[in-house]
Amino acid sequence: LDARHGDWLLVLERHTLGRTLLDVGCGYGFFMAKAKVCGWTPCGIEPSSEAAQHAMKQAVNIGQWVGHMPVYVGSWEDSEPSLLYVLPPVHLQFDAISVLWLMEHLPDPLAFLRWCHAHLYGGGALLLVVPNDFSAAQWKVNDTVSKPFWWIHHTHLNYWTPATLGNLLGRAGFRIVDRFTAFPMESFLPRFDYTDSHEAGQKAHADVKAFDLDMTREQRLAYYCKLAQLGEGRELIVVAKPE
């Protein structure tokens, strides 16, 4: 995660003028902590009070600065999320907004993207990560695995392809300026079926981790940018700017 988050932040900073960052659905704060190490000023919104408390403690764990990373317990839809530190971010604008594996859970992703648009400076950028589902690679092996349609999850309300994600961003007033992806996990399935096997999933994860860390940051970004251009990869990872 540390290497991957560093890759994403490097791409993001190419498209921003300043270094203020709002991480929506920040979870346990791992992305915010890496952003702080990389020179950003992060804050977050997180509905889980347990996760929010852990995210604030990341500031102490990394030993890079005095104080806390402000995290607000609540939703992006709340007019007044429960205040933990200073002012809630919902009335502010930022140089960057990060949204990692959140959009697939939202009942109205278009309204959310328009909210992001309103909370970015004109020269700011949105980092968005969603699963790349119903892809050609998934369909190719779907009839051969022990758990067909394994990518469908009861918490996911939305599914995107590169084309439909780009269309949604356009409707919200964004244009994509960079795109990349993550390792195409489906490529393992002809060799071993991880769809209903925890052990096989762990093996696939270990292989991908070794593959990624064997490359330099520049090599990883070049590889995953190329895969994204082909519409491949497990994730749709884009940087988009307000029109």
Model confidence at 79: pLDDT above 70: no
Alpha-carbon distance of 66 to 84, in angstroms, equals 16
Which element (helix H / strand E) includes 221? helix 217-229
Structure tokens at 230: 């082909």
Alpha-carbon distance of 42 to 19, in angstroms, equals 8
Q: How far apart are the first and last CA of the chain?
A: 31
Question: Which residue's structure tokens are 């400076």?
Answer: 121
Question: Which residue's structure tokens are 């020269």?
Answer: 123
Residues 171-187 have a mean pLDDT of: 97
Give the whole-number percent of the chain exceeding pLDDT 70: 90
Beta strand pairing status for 41-46 and 20-24? parallel
Residue 56 φ then ψ, to 5°: -65, -35
Radius of gyration of the chain (CA): 18
Give the whole-number percent of the chain exceeding pLDDT 90: 76
pTM: 0.91
Type of residue numbered 190: P
4 exposure class (CB count in 10 Å sphere: 0-12, 13-18, 19+): buried
Residue from 14, 75, 5, 77 nearest 42 by CA: 5
218: helix, strand or coil = helix
Q: Count CB neighbours of 210 within 10 A.
A: 9
Model confidence at 155: pLDDT above 60: yes
Q: Confidence band (pLDDT; 50, 70, 90) for 54?
A: confident
